[in-house]
A and B are shown apart, each in its own frame.
Chain A
Amino acid sequence: MTAATGLRRSAAASRIRPRARRRESGLLVLVAVVLVLGSVSLGVTQRQLAGQPLAWLPADAGQLAIYLGALVAAHLTLVLAGRRSDQVLLPTIGLLGGISLLLMERLPQSLVTQSLAGRNFGLASIQLGWLLLAIAVITATAVMVRSDAWLRRYKYTWAAAGIALLLLTFLFGNEVNGALLTIEVGPFSGQPTELIKVILVIFLAGYLSDFRPLLVSASMRLGPLRLPPVPYLLPMLAMWAMALGIVVIQRDLGAALLFFAVFLALVYIATARASYVVLGLLMFVAGSLIAYQLFGTVRDRVDIWVNPFIDASGKGYQVVQSLYAFGRGGILGTGLGAGLPLVAGRLPIPAIHTDFPLAALGEELGLLGVLAILGLYLVVIERGLRVAASAADDFRALLAAGLTLVVGVQAFIIAAGNLKLIPLTGVTLPFISYGGSSLLANGVVVGLLLALSDRGVEAPPPPRPAGSRRPAFLGGPARGAR
C-alpha cells in the first residue's frame, strides 16, 4: 500500500458521507408489505378460530412494528455509515426473519417460556428478541469490519478456538434428542456448533488461500486419482476425522454433514480439482458405513429415512407427521394459522419450531410458500457467491463463498430432511428456526458478507512470495524469515 492511498483512505474514513441505498429501501418496503399482509391474514384466522368478530388487523401489531422498525434502523445505519455494500441481502434476510416471527406467533406460545425481570415471555417474544439481536449483529458487523486482517492473520488461532469450543461441547454438553448439542453458561445455553461453523470457514479460507498453489500444482498418482503429496492431504484427513468425531462423540449428524460438505466445496473452489471431491466423497461413504455399523442413532435415522411409515407411531413419528403436514398443505396451503398444529392439545411434531418449521410453513403456505422460501435462500446464495466471485483476492473469495455455503448447505440439509429426501438430521433452518445461537451465528455470516461486499473495505495485503507459503509443519521457513 502506497503512502498516497493510505492518506486518501484515512481522510475518507474521518469524513463519513451518508450514501442512499435506494434498492435496499425499495425492497424493504416490499418486505414490509408482505409481512403486514401475512400478519393480517394470521390475525383474521386467529380471531375467527377464537370466535371473535372479524377485524382486518395484524395478529400482533406491536411485535410486527418493532421488527420492521429494527430493519429500518439497520438500513438507516448502513446509509448513514455510507456503506457501498450489497443491497439485496438485508431485505431477503429480513423477509425470512419476518416469516419466522409470524410462524412463532402462530405456534403455541408455551413451547418456550422465559422469565425476565418479573415478566414472562413466550415463544414469539423470545424469538423477536433474538431476531432484533441478530439484526444488530448484522448491522454492527457490516459497519465495523473495515479490514479482514484480523481474520486472515490468525487462522491457526481461529482453528484452536474452534477446536476448544468443540472440546467444551464434548466435555460439558447437554444431550438433546440423543445428541450433545448445547452448553450452558449461567442462565444462557447455546449451540456451539453454530459458532464453530463460522470459525471453520474463516480457518479454511486462510489455509486454502495460503496453500492453494501447492495444492493445485503438486501431485502423486493413486490409481485413477491425481492427488497432492500426502502431507497436503493431512488437513482433509483431519477434517474427515473431526466430522466423524462429531458423529461419534456428539452424535450430531447434521453438524458433521454440514462441516464436511462445506469443506469439500471450499477445497473444490480453491483447487478446481474433482479428484479431491471424489476422494472426499469416498471417505464420506466409508465414514457413513462405519457410523451405520457402529451407532444405533445413525442406523435409526437411516432406517426411518428408508421407510418412516413402518413405525409411524414410534421412531418414524416426526418424519411421518412432517410429511402429513406437507400433504395437508397441498399447493396453496391452509393459510397462516389455519393448519393443524395441535391435536387433542398436543403437538404432532414436538420439535416443529426448531427442526420442522418448513413442514409447518408447507402446511399453511402450501407448495407455493415452500417454493418462495427456497427462492429466498437461492437469492442469499446468489448474492453471497457474487460477493465471492468479485472479491479482491483468494482469501476473501473463499471466505465469502464459505460463509454463503454454510447458510445454503444448512438450509438444504434440514429442508431435504423434512421432505424425506435425505435422512433427517437436527440442524436449524437458517433465519426461520427458533433459537438464539442459530440466529446470532447466521447474523455474523450475513454481516461479514455485507462487509466483504463493501467496495470501500480495506484492500487486501499484497501476496507474499510463493516460497514462504510452505506450511510451517512441513519444515518450511517461518513467516517473513526470508
Chain B
Amino acid sequence: MNARDRAPIGQGIARVGLILSLLFGLIAVGAGYWQVARASDLSRAPDNPLVIAAARDVIRGRILDRSGAVLATSRNDANGEPYRIYADRSLAPLIGYSSPVYGTAGLERAYNAELSGLGSPNSLDDLLSKLAPGNTRGDDLTLSLSLKLQEAAVKALGSDRGAIVMLDPRTGRVLAMASTPTFDANAIANPVTAVAAFKRTAAAAGQPFLDRATMGEYVPGSVFKIVTSIAALSSGAISTSTTYPQQPAAEKTGLLVSGFRIHDGHHDFTGSLALDYDQAIEVSCNIYFALTGLRTGGAALADYAGRLGFGAPIPFDLPTAASQVTNGGGSFGGGFKDDVELANAAYGQAETLVTPLQMALVAATVANGGVEMKPQLVTSIAGPGGRQTINPEALGSVMTPGVAGTIGDAMRLAVESSWGRIFTSGAAIPGIQTAGKTGTAQIGGSAEPNSWFIGYAPASNPQVAIAVVVEQGGHGSARAAPIAGSLMGLWLKTLNP
C-alpha cells in the first residue's frame, strides 16, 4: 500500500511547489511594478518623505503671472528656515499654500514636485543618491493668469460668495480664476502664525479653502440653455426657425408635462407670439427650452453635455469636480428619471449641477467655433535644465462651426438686442459687441437665487470668455452680468488692448 501511494504524494508535493513558485513570481512582478513602473510618480507624491525631506534642502521655485509679476516666492526667517510669501489674497483659493505645518494645497500641491526641484528625472536621481549638494533651486512656474485681472475679479465679487473664470477661448489659457471668500495664505505659510490662521480659516463661514471655480457645484439655471442649444441644434431636433404653437398659451397657464406644470411668466410682453430660437434665447424662455429638451431627447442631451466635459473631472492643472446633467441611473434616455426631469434639466433646473470652470468652457467652445480647448493655467516650467513651454491643446470638436455661429448670434442678440437688453444690458461693453447668457438659478426655499452669466467678447473675434456666479446674488441681470461686462471690458480695453 505504501509503495503504491508514493507516486501521488510526490506529485502533490511537486504541484504545491510549482504553485508556490508561481506565487513568488507574482511577488516579483509586484515588486517590479512598484519599483520600476511606478517608481517615478510614487517618488514625486507630495506626502512622500523624500519630497518632504527635499523641501528642507531645496529653495522652492517661484510662481509668476503672465507678465512676470511674482505671485509666490520664498524667504528665509531669522533661523534660516524658508517660508512662503504670496502677492495677494485674491490668489489664495487657486494657488493654495505651502506650509511647514500643514503641507501643501492648491497649485502648490499640484506642482509640488516641480516647485521642489523633483520635476526632472535627473534631479530625482540626485536626491535619491543623497550625494547632491544642498540648497538647490526648485523650478519656477509661469501662469497665464493676470494678477491685475484676478484682483479686479475678486474685488468685483466683493463680500459675496461666488466664482469667476475668465479664459482665452482660442487657447484655453486661464486669465483669471476667482473664488470668494478668499483667505490669508501668508499667515498659513508663516510657521509662527500657521496654526492659528489655519484653524481660523477652516472654521470661517463660507469655506474659504474651497476653490469654487473648479470644485463648486452649482445649479446652472438658464445658462444651461446654451448646452441644450448645442444638443438640439447639432442633433437636428430644432432649427433657428422652430416655434412651438402651444408655447404662448403655456406662458400663462404653465406647461403640463406628465402632470407637472412648468411655469415661466417673466416675459409678458411677448404676448401671443410663438417665439423662434433667437427670440427664446433673448427673453430666456423656459417653456421653449423645456419643449426643446423633450424634442431633443435625454440621450442626445447627455451625449453633447458629455462631449463638453460633463460627467467627469475636467483635465486641468488643479483637481476639478465633475459637472452633471442628471444624477443618472434613470431609465429614461441619458440617465434621466422621466420626461419631467428632462424638461426641467433643459433650462437648468433639475438635478443638473455645474462648476464655473465647466460653464466658462461652454461659452469658450461656442466662441471658438465649436472646438473646445483644454483649460490651462501653467504655461511654462523653468528650471536649471531649461524652460519647458506647455502648448495649448484641443480637447475635441463639440459642434460644427455653423451651429456655434448660430448660438453665438443668439447670445449676441441676448446682450445687444432691444429684448435682450431688458435682461442682460449690464454685460454690454461700450464699443465692443458682446455675446452672453444670464442665469437665475433657483436654489429652493425662499433663498435668493444664484446669479449667473456666461459669455464672451468681442462677439465677432472672441478673445475672452467668462463665467460668473454670485451665490444668492439675485437675477443674473442684476449681479453677474454687470460684473462680466466690466471685467471683460477691463481686459480688452485696459489690460490687454
Contacts and interface: CB of A to CB of B under 8 A. Distances in A.
B260 interface: no
Given A327-B42, A330-B128, A367-B32, A389 B20 contact: no
A474 B247 CA distance: 87
B79 interface: no
A374 B12 CA distance: 23
A284 to B, nearest CB: 15
Given A326-B31, A331-B35, A367-B35, A408 B12 contact: no
A326 B24 contact: no
Interface centre among B17, B43, B129 (most CB of A within 10 A): B17
A265 B40 CA distance: 39
Interface stretch (A24-32, A64-72, A92-100, A378-386): A378-386
A88 to B, nearest CB: 15
A408 B20 contact: yes
Interface string A399-413: 001000100110010
Contact of B17 (A213, A271, A348, A385): A385
Interface string B9-41: 111111111001101101110111011101111
Contacts of B9: 269-270, 272, 394, 397-398
B20 A412 contact: yes
Contacts of A419: 27, 30-31, 34
A348 B13 CA distance: 41
A470 interface: no
Contact of A381 (B20, B36, B52): B20
Nearest to A49: B130
Contacts of B41: 327
Interface residues of A, number: 57
Nearest to A359: B34
A401 B16 contact: yes
B133 interface: no
A192 interface: no
B8 interface: yes
B50 interface: yes
Contact of A374 (B14, B16, B28): B28
A409 B24 CA distance: 10
Contact of B42 (A323, A338, A381, A394): A323
B126 interface: no
A376 to B, nearest CB: 11
B2 A327 contact: no
Contacts of A405: 16, 20
A421 interface: yes
Contacts of A331: 35-36
A327 B43 contact: yes
A415 B42 contact: no
Contacts of A420: 30, 34
A268 B16 contact: yes
B31 A393 contact: no
Interface in A268-321: 268-272, 312-313, 320-321
Interface in A340-388: 340, 343-344, 348, 362, 366-367, 370-371, 374, 377-378, 381-382, 385, 388
A178 interface: no
B13 A328 contact: no
Interface centre among B30, B39, B42, B49 (most CB of A within 10 A): B49
B16 A367 contact: no
Contacts of A272: 8-9, 11-12
B312 interface: no
B112 to A, nearest CB: 14
Contacts of A394: 2, 5, 9
A323 B36 CA distance: 12
Given A312-B47, A324-B42, A389 B10 contact: yes
A426 interface: no
A420 B26 CA distance: 12
A463 B47 CA distance: 63
Contacts of A159: none
Interface string A456-479: 000000010010000000000000
B14 A416 contact: no
B117 to A, nearest CB: 16
B5 A412 contact: no
Contacts of A412: 20, 23-24, 27
Contact of A463 (B2, B12, B15): B2
B48 interface: yes
Nearest to A323: B34
A334 interface: yes
A343 B53 contact: yes
Contacts of A397: 9-10, 13
B205 interface: no
Contacts of B1: 213, 463, 466
B45 interface: yes
Given A213-B5, A378-B21, A385 B35 contact: no
A330 B36 contact: yes
Nearest to A363: B35
B7 to A, nearest CB: 9
Interface string B184-199: 0000000000000000
Interface centre among B11, B15, B39, B41 (most CB of A within 10 A): B39
A334 B129 contact: yes
A330 B45 CA distance: 15
Nearest to B100: A344
A328 B43 contact: yes
Interface in B325-339: none
A328 B10 contact: no
A366 B30 contact: no
Contact of B49 (A323, A343, A377, A389): A343
A382 B17 contact: yes
Given A374-B28, A378-B21, A412-B20, A327 B13 contact: no
A223 B1 CA distance: 30
A414 to B, nearest CB: 10
Given A265-B16, A269-B12, A405-B16, A348 B35 contact: no
A416 B10 contact: no
Contacts of B5: 212-213, 394
Given A374-B28, A408-B20, A326 B34 contact: yes
A381 B17 contact: yes
B11 A324 contact: no
A210 to B, nearest CB: 13
Contact of A370 (B10, B35, B43): B35
Contact of A340 (B17, B23, B49): B49
Interface in A245-282: 265, 268-272
Nearest to B23: A412
Contact of B26 (A324, A388, A416): A416
Given A327-B34, A463-B2, A321 B20 contact: no
Nearest to B32: A367
B128 A371 contact: no
Interface string A35-58: 000000000000001000000000
A329 interface: yes
Contacts of A389: 10, 13-14
A409 B2 CA distance: 28
B225 to A, nearest CB: 38
B184 to A, nearest CB: 24
A324 B20 contact: no
A370 B31 CA distance: 8
Contacts of A324: 42-43, 45, 48-50
Interface of B: 1-2, 5, 8-17, 20-21, 23-24, 26-28, 30-32, 34-36, 38-43, 45, 47-50, 52-53, 128-130
18 contacts: A49-B130, A213-B1, A213-B5, A272-B8, A326-B42, A327-B38, A327-B39, A329-B35, A329-B39, A330-B35, A331-B35, A334-B130, A340-B53, A362-B31, A374-B28, A381-B20, A389-B13, A421-B27
